[in-house]
């Protein structure tokens, strides 16, 4: 079956390749931190990103969506640059920008779900829901690491993400069920 939804096809291609960039970035991030618990947590997040990439690929294969060579190259380079920069920009910024990135990624999977629903397809709800929730868990992890840092208010003001601002409407304390998750990420 071919997907008759160009925006969804592009979102799948982008997500697949962007997960590689995120995984590469977390390799550098984990390598750059000194704290063993932080290394372990960031490495687990890297593994989650590789898993998300595989899950997205399975969906793409089901609908004959080809991998974009352009996105693969672009995100490969971006991921490697971010990975290397983690060794240069200190402790705070990798945590901050990882949290900001994850905040935006949360809705990527719920938007995919909405688009599939517009085509009458609900078979991917569980995996898309789980990936979106996992991205939210990543966001919260990174925010927890920096929430008391004196640089956070300035970065939040400058980049619109932090304790008071985010890019999604998911509250893990009051999660909607998979069936109700259509309410997420409508903005």
83's tokens: 């990975």
What pLDDT score does 54 carry?
98
Predicted TM-score (pTM) of this structure: 0.94
What structural domains and CATH numbers belong to the chain? 6-183 (1.20.1260)
* Residue 146, phi then psi, degrees to nearest 5: -120, 0
CA 88 vs CA 16, 32, 41, 53, 92: distances in Å: 27, 9, 20, 27, 11
- CA separation for the pair 187, 103 (Å, rounded): 14
Chunk the chain into consecutive blocks of 10 residues (it has 187) and report each block's average pLDDT, rounded to whole numbers. 94 98 97 96 98 98 98 97 95 95 95 96 97 97 97 97 94 93 88
Residues 6+ apart with CB under 8 A from 100: 159, 161, 167
What pLDDT score does 1 carry?
83
What pLDDT score does 14 carry?
98
DSSP sequence for 27-39 = HHHHHH---HHHH
Q: Is the separation of the CB atoms in 51 and 19 below 8 Å?
A: no
* Dihedral sign for Cα atoms in the order 17, 44, 163, 129: positive
6's tokens: 């160009």
The secondary element (H helix, E strand) that includes residue 59 is: helix 36-62
């Amino acid at each position: 079956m071919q997907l008759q939804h160009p925006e969804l096809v592009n979102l799948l291609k982008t997500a697949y390749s962007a997960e590689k960039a995120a995984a590469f970035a977390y390799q550098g991030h984990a390598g750059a931190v000194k704290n063993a618990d932080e290394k372990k947590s960031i490495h687990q997040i890297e593994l989650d990103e590789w898993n998300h990439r595989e899950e997205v690929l399975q969906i793409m294969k089901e609908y004959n969506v080809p991998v974009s060579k352009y996105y693969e190259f672009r995100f490969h380079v971006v991921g490697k640059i971010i990975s290397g920069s983690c060794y240069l920009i200190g402790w705070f910024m990798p945590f901050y920008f990882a949290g900001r990135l994850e905040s935006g990624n949360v809705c990527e999977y719920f938007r995919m779900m909405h688009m599939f629903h517009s085509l009458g397809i609900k078979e991917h709800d569980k995996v898309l829901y789980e990936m979106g929730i996992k991205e939210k868990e990543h966001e919260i992890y990174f925010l927890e690491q920096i929430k008391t840092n004196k640089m956070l208010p300035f970065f939040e003001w400058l980049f619109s993400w932090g304790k008071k601002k985010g890019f999604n409407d998911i509250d893990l304390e009051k999660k909607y069920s998979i069936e109700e998750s259509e309410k997420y990420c409508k903005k």
